[in-house]
Amino acid sequence: MATHGRWKLTKPSNDSRDEPIYTLADAAHFLAIPSTTVRLWSLGQHYGQEDGRKFARPVLRIAMPSPPTLSFWNLVEVYVLASIRREHRVPMQKVRRALSFTSDKLGKKRPLIEQTFLTNGVDLFVERVASLVNVSQGGQMAMRDVLIGTLQRIDRDPGGLARRIYPWWKSPEDPRHIQIDPLRSSGRPVLTDTGVPTSEIADRFRAGDTIKHLAKDFGVKLDQIETALRWEAIAEEAA
**Alpha-carbon torsion (35, 37, 42, 47), positive or negative:** positive
The answer to whether residue 187 sits within a structural domain is yes
Residue 67, preceding bond cis, omega within 30 degrees? yes
The answer to whether residue 55 sits within a structural domain is no
Residue 55 confidence (pLDDT): 83
Q: How far apart are CA 72 and CA 163, in angstroms?
A: 8
The answer to whether residue 179 sits within a structural domain is yes
Q: Which of 229, 218, 212, 217 is nearest to 178 (CA)?
A: 229
The answer to whether residue 191 sits within a structural domain is yes
Q: Which of 12, 1, 150 is nearest to 85 (CA)?
A: 150
Is the confidence at residue 1, as pLDDT, over 80?
no
The answer to whether residue 127 sits within a structural domain is no
The answer to whether residue 220 sits within a structural domain is yes
The whole-angstrom distance between residue 188's C-alpha and the CA centroid of its chain comes to 13
The answer to whether residue 222 sits within a structural domain is yes
Residue 68 confidence (pLDDT): 97
Contact 189, 211 (CB under 8 A): no
* Number of domains the chain is built from: 1
What CATH number corresponds to the domain at position 235?
1.10.10.10
Q: How confident is the model at residue 88 (pLDDT cuts 50, 70, 90)?
A: confident
Contact 107, 144 (CB under 8 A): no
Residue range 52-77, pLDDT digits in tens: 788 888 999 999 999 999 999 999 99
The answer to whether residue 1 sits within a structural domain is no
Range(s) of the domain holding residue 232: 175-239
Confirm whether pTM is higher than 0.85.
Answer: yes
Q: How far apart are CA 159 and CA 146, in angstroms?
A: 24
Beta-carbon contacts of 85 under 8 Å, excluding residues fewer than 6 positions away, are 37, 92, 95
Contact 187, 72 (CB under 8 A): yes
Residue 5 confidence (pLDDT): 38
